[in-house]
Structure 1
Amino acid sequence: MKRNSSLNLLLVTILLITSSCKREELRYRQPNIVFILADDLGYAELGAYGQQKIETPNIDGLASNGIRFTDFYCGSPVCAPSRGVLLTGKHSGHAYVRINDEMGATKKNWDFREVIKDPGLEGQRPIPDTIVTIGELMQQAGYRTACVGKWGLGGPLTEGHPNKQGFDLFYGDMCQRQGHNYYNLHLWKNDQQVLLDNEYTPVWTPLDKGSDPHDPASYEKYTSNEYAPDLMLDESLRFIEQNKENPFFLYFAPILPHAPLQVPAGSEFLSYYEELFGEEEPYLGQKGYFPNRTPHATYAAMVSYLDMQVGKLIEKLKQEGLYENTVIMFTSDNGPTFNGGTDSPFFDSAKPFKSEWGWGKGFLREGGIRVPLIVSWPGVVAPGTQTGHPFAFWDVMPTLNEIAGLKNKVDTDGTSFLPTLKGEEQKQKEFLYWEFPMKAYSGQQAVRMGNWKGYRSEMNEGNLTIQLFNLKTDPQEQVDLAAEHPEIVQQIEGIMKKEHVRSEVHPFPAID
């Protein structure tokens, strides 16, 4: 009996020593990095940024445990170019992808049954394999890398494939068009199609003729069996579990809360918001995408669904003993949208900025490019802090490069904001620059320099006049001060000229 007690004591001692060694090893290894990129989430659609109608307790908790950036900007006001800026560290005057380039998408590209037969119909303009991405940098640093969610920078048969751009694992929608139905027919796992058990409903299918828009049964065809965001989250949780012994970089890019308005039937979030908001006027598809019986409740439910997914990622990291050594960054690819029944003004989605058409997604106004950034890093980032230093997507690459411990100099337009995360003195950026030549949005340029914002619009129609706004006193960009400060306008014009490099694939005739 005494011998058994001694043996048990020895085993317990060994386990304690082993556990202690593992904790020490985890403490000194490179931190894991989880970068979460929401889709079309507005600056003020989180409780931590002032949202009053939608509840986001998990993301708000992330802000309470970390740092909140008040003056952070995306790479571009629409999806693909913004993601390209993020992943390559080049602002839109130097980036390869500068617009949502569908490369001649036709009716056939939008028929998702045809796309399954011919993967060559999928994808936007691919980034060349010669361009170094964040994924490739993380691989150089010894990280296992994954991109889960929406890609948008090249189809499955191109050099823009995520597996060729630094990601050991890809799972999700390689083509942006596929994300226009949350009950799609397939996803991709690396180079393999993953067929889903869903009924096919073409994008923009209207209600059946003569159906009652107030009857829930009229909308049954807009939901099916497998909800893509659920599958994407499950794959992310698996990646964390399978790579817990090694440092990993998870780029989690869910399609939430981008239109169309779709949540699983019977969602507790949907029921909650339907009761909270009461009777609504149905959205009948006037601004594209699928109709929806309770558009406000559904959109709020989608944001809360995203928040729930963030909570599950955090919970998984804690379960695996990884949370204390993980950097979590949460942001959005651009400002809130104007279509699909989302109704940004109802939620005041970009407060204090304007968010309706012309001011949110698609435009270089503050509502279109100012986005939330929350960073949590236990033991490094002081909980409950915030910073007003202006940063943008192209600053993420040098920051992650430094966090990963790489000493190499990266070819980027960005500046590492690691000093800000550590609470140290941060070098001030002289300016931030954007350009957006996309025809559907008339061609735009913008510069932020201190509190000054210079903005040009309708450039494709020949307008080169620069408007000037003081963001400190006029965050909604209503009072043009250009005539009062010609010297500031001249400086901004010089930046616009200097930072634009002609693109062979996305020319900008107004300034080339």
Structure 2
Amino acid sequence: MKNLLLLVICGICIACDTKEPEVQSPNVILILADDLGYGEVGYQGQKKIKTPNIDALSETGMVFTNHYSGAPVCAPARCVLLTGKHMGHAYIRGNDAMKERGDVWDYAKAAADPNLEGQRNIPANTETLSKMLQKAGYKTGIVGKWGLGGPMTEGIPTNLGFDYFYGYNCQRQAHNLYPNHLWENEEKILLDNELVVPATKLEPGADPNDPASYAKYEQKDYAPDLMHEKALSFIQENKDEPFFLYYASPLPHVPLQIPSEDRESYIAEFGTEEPYDGSKGYFPNQYPNATYAAMISKLDQQIGEVRARVKELGLEENTIIIVTSDNGPTYAGGVDSEYFESSTPFANGFGRTKGFLYEGGIRVPMLVSWPGKITQSTSDHISVFYDIFPTLAELVGMPVPEELDGKSFLPELMGEAQEKHDYLYWEFPETGGQQAVRMGKWKAVRQNIKKENNLEIELYDLSNDILEQNNLAAEHPDLIKEFEEIMAKEHEAPEVSTFRMPALGD
């Protein structure tokens, strides 16, 4: 009996020794560019702007050609991304400055008083993908731009699932890339920059062709560089445990600002330009096209350095990198979207890009890289920001909350059968008030819901009309009826009165 017992114990020990180790949860780096257009990266056909690192990364994973932001502007897009709820259910549905706090649009006052800084906050009890990853054992960090709750509110990153935060709390403060402060967790970090209020013009009589006239717009501490160092440090410091880095870069969002040495090659390439005088907002710039191109190339360089750091630490095969943009490209601040064909193959310019629910405003570049796990390929799977939460939940083996609107696209990444959306839904109470639905090849759009109480639906066949120029609504009354039902079903009256659209019954 003793011998039998010894054999059983030995067998148990052998089984313990030979048991395969558990697979480590992969690190996740989610890089969110700010206003990067679908056509502004090389792998999507961009010719004037160089993005070699993003292009190289696209060759290691899956490129999505039918990926959408959750909204056409900053704050609501970020809310959708973090909560997994579309704009008909999300708490934040626009860029709400919460003007009831006081003179929130006075940049200098807000820079001095944290009570005036930031956007409307999402409640601290909101379920976020960062909280989900914390529960899964991840160290979580956000570096870059927040925009979902002022410094003195419950809506700060460290209340919403992030162990670490460094960057801009407020989107308006991000309208200067040489700000006088940033935030690190709950601490205001003063920088070595003088306060220059956005929209400050050249001095009277200044020569617009003299570089010295623009000296005040280029100071010492360039925020994107400071934030980038913090992002690399976060990776370094958490290399021995699973980590989630949400790198919400402020690039290439205007103002047109970059250290002068970073744009020299583009100045040489593009030649003499007509200076931008600041008449469309933000700061003047002597070389607007060269500066904008350099800002995207700076973003590209930083993405390359993130990848290099991951490789140096031996983490490449255990790190999934996602690169996308919060919405389509801008038309303001001296950016010439026509010159760069920023939204190609979609329509460019005001009314069709940032701020609007046409393709150029919400269809964004996205690639996902995970060497050894994701095969290099191009996917036409129709996906959206609110899919990222359930995708990451499935990736790390966490339950997906029932109230989410998204569907995991992890099967698509793994080359398996992928469940498709019946349709995607958006609404946006700003720029007149809008709704949109994509269902297969069809795209339905409502404009001026709030401005004119308009409920008429435009209908486009994206398979034949990617520019959304031929409204086919009159030819398909049955489809229009179906889209009307979807828009009514998916719109839930917002809690915040600012986001309500009376024509929808709010």
Identity %: 54
| Residues 398 and 410 in structure 1, CA contact (< 8 A), matched pair in contact too | no
Correspondence for 1:397 among 378, 389, 393: 389
1:323 pairs with one of 316, 333, 337: 316
Unaligned runs of 5+ in 2: 1-19
Write out aligned runs for 1:41-56 (5 A). Answer: 41-56=36-51
Instruction: Indicate which of 453, 456, 463 corresponds to 1:462.
Output: 453
CA distance in structure 2 between the aligned counterparts of 1:349 and 1:183, rounded to whole angstroms: 25
| Matches of 1:114 and 1:435, distance apart in 2 | 32
Gaps of 5+ in 1: 1-23
Q: CA deviation at 1:465?
A: 0.8
Q: 1:94 to 1:106 in 2, by over 3 A?
A: closer
Which runs of structure 1 show a deviation greater than 6 angstroms over 4 or more consecutive aligned residues?
Answer: none
Rounded to whole Å, the distance in 1 between the matches of 2:78 and 2:301 is 23
Alignment match of 1:422 (pick from 397, 410, 414): 414
Query: Residue 484 of structure 2 aligns with which residue?
Result: 493
Q: Partners in 1 of 2:100 and 2:174 — Cα distance? A: 15
User: C-alpha displacement at 1:87, in angstroms?
Assistant: 0.4
Q: Distance in 1 between matches of 2:106 and 2:190?
A: 15
Could you tell me whether the CA contact under 8 Å between 1:43 and 1:371 is conserved in 2?
yes
1:191 pairs with 2:191: no
Given that 2:199 and 2:278 are in contact with CA atoms closer than 8 Å, whether structure 1 keeps it comes out as yes
Q: Deviations over 1:94-131 (max 9, x none)?
A: 00000100111899535555335421111100001121
Deviation string, structure 1 residues 277-310 (Cα, Å, up to 9, x no partner) = 1111010011100000010000000000000000
Partner of 1:442: 432
Counterpart CA distance in 1 for 2:345 and 2:114 is: 43
Contact 2:35 2:325 in 1 (8 A): yes
Aligned to 1:343: 336
- Amino acid aligned to 1:153: L
Q: How does 1:345-364 map onto structure 2 within 5 Å? A: 345-364=338-357
SS at match of 1:28: coil
User: Quick check: 1:44–1:348 contact (8 Å CA) kept in 2?
Assistant: yes
- Paired with 2:64 and 2:288, the residues of 1 have a C-alpha distance of 30
Q: Secondary structure at the match of 1:464?
A: coil
Distance in 2 (CA, whole Å) between partners of 1:39 and 1:162 is 18
1:11-410 equivalences in 2 (<5 Å): 28-104=23-99, 108-267=103-262, 270-383=263-376, 385-410=377-402
Q: Secondary structure at the match of 2:504?
A: coil
CA RMSD of aligned residues (A): 1.5
* Residues 114-123 or 162-171, more deviating: 114-123
**Structure 1 CA distance, aligned partners of 2:434 and 2:196?**
36
Give me the whole-angstrom Cα distance separating, in 1, the residues matched to 2:121 and 2:323: 25
Encode CA deviations 1:358-411: one digit per residue, 9 max, x unaligned. 00000000000000110001111102x011111100000000111122135453
Deviation string, structure 1 residues 446-479 (Cα, Å, up to 9, x no partner): 0000000001101121211101000010000000
Report deviation, 1:504: 2.4
Q: Distance in 2 between matches of 1:180 and 1:374?
A: 27
Shift of 1:489: 1.1
**Structure 2 letter corresponding to 1:307:** D
Please give the alpha-carbon distance, in whole angstroms, between the structure 1 residues aligned to 2:478 and 2:281: 44
Give the partner amino acid of 1:428.
K
In structure 1, the residue matched to 2:471 is 480
1:52-77 C-alpha deviation (Å, 9 max, x unpaired): 11010001111110100000000100
Q: Which amino acid aligns with 1:56?
A: T
Q: Distance in 2 between matches of 1:102 and 1:108?
A: 10
Aligned-partner Cα distance in 2 for 1:93–1:108: 30
Aligned length: 484
